[in-house]
Amino acid sequence: MLITLCGFISQGCIAQQKFGGQIYENHTHIPLGGIVVENLNSHDRTTSDVNGMFIIDAKINDLLLFTSIAYANDTVYITNLNYLKVFLTLKNKDLDEVKVTGEELKTGKLSAPVETGPLGSHSVLYQTDGAGNYIGGVKFMLNDSKGYQNKKLKKEQIGIDEATKDQIVKVFSPDNIQHYLPIRGQELTNFIILYIPDIKTYTSSSFNLILYLSNSYKEFCNIPIDKRQSADFLKISSK
């Protein structure tokens, strides 16, 4: 897919020395989206997509920094420009060592049933999606009333949706998208308005940022250039 995308950017890909890879959670090997990747030499920054993939300008002897709220920072010194795989560790991994005695842990009026995580932990569970697949991170389950659980789950879902929206906005920001496509200014703004994905599309297991941008850009180029570069793009598109 990178070769196809370079076709859009033509000779600029070679001059900019695009360097890419994929980021995973160390324990589960689940791809991690939303990880900030910074070239400490040039200070260029990008964010990994939902599949953990990233592309950034880099050259041999540069130092890359990988940062996230939930995962410990890591740095990689570039000795070659081969495809890179990075494995990050949870900051709160030490919770795996917490010991729970008896059948449940009492916490005020709430109680936490002892459940076993994928690594045999009795206190920490890794997050899963609706199909039961591990998606990284940890979660704590507290049981009280059904109504409390439903409210808690709804609140958590709202938080997840808001975090996902923030991630989409970062990934589809002009500063990030211009690293992938040869458009700038109003034309880039119009492209983002037209093709920024919703949460359902972005979190789909089949979503691939490079492929999505490639297909969207081909479709976008079918729009007459005067329209796709117009400040009145939304008015023109609605006609």
Give 152-188 pLDDT, tens digit per residue.
677 777 778 888 888 898 899 999 998 889 999 999 9
Q: Which helix (H) or strand (E) holds 86?
A: strand 84-88
Domains of the chain and CATH, by start: 1-91 (2.60.40.1120), 93-144 (no CATH), 157-239 (no CATH)
- Give me the sign of the Cα torsion angle 41, 173, 185, 213: positive
Q: Are strands 84-88 and 104-107 parallel, antiparallel or unpaired?
A: unpaired
Q: Taking a C-beta distance cutoff of 8 angstroms, is the pair 47, 170 a contact?
A: yes
Q: Taking a C-beta distance cutoff of 8 angstroms, is the pair 126, 140 a contact?
A: no
Map tokens 């890909």 to a residue.
13
Mean pLDDT rounded to a whole number for the chain: 76
Q: How far is the C-alpha of 43 from the C-alpha of 34, rounded, in Å? A: 18
Give 79-101 pLDDT, tens digit per residue.
988 999 999 998 864 444 444 44
Give 94-152 pLDDT, tens digit per residue.
444 444 444 443 444 444 444 444 444 444 455 666 666 656 555 544 445 566 666 76
3-state SS assignment for residue 111: strand
Q: Are strands 110-113 and 18-25 parallel, antiparallel or unpaired?
A: unpaired
Q: Name the nearest CA neighbour of 225 among 192, 186, 181, 196.
A: 186
Residue 105 has what pLDDT? 38
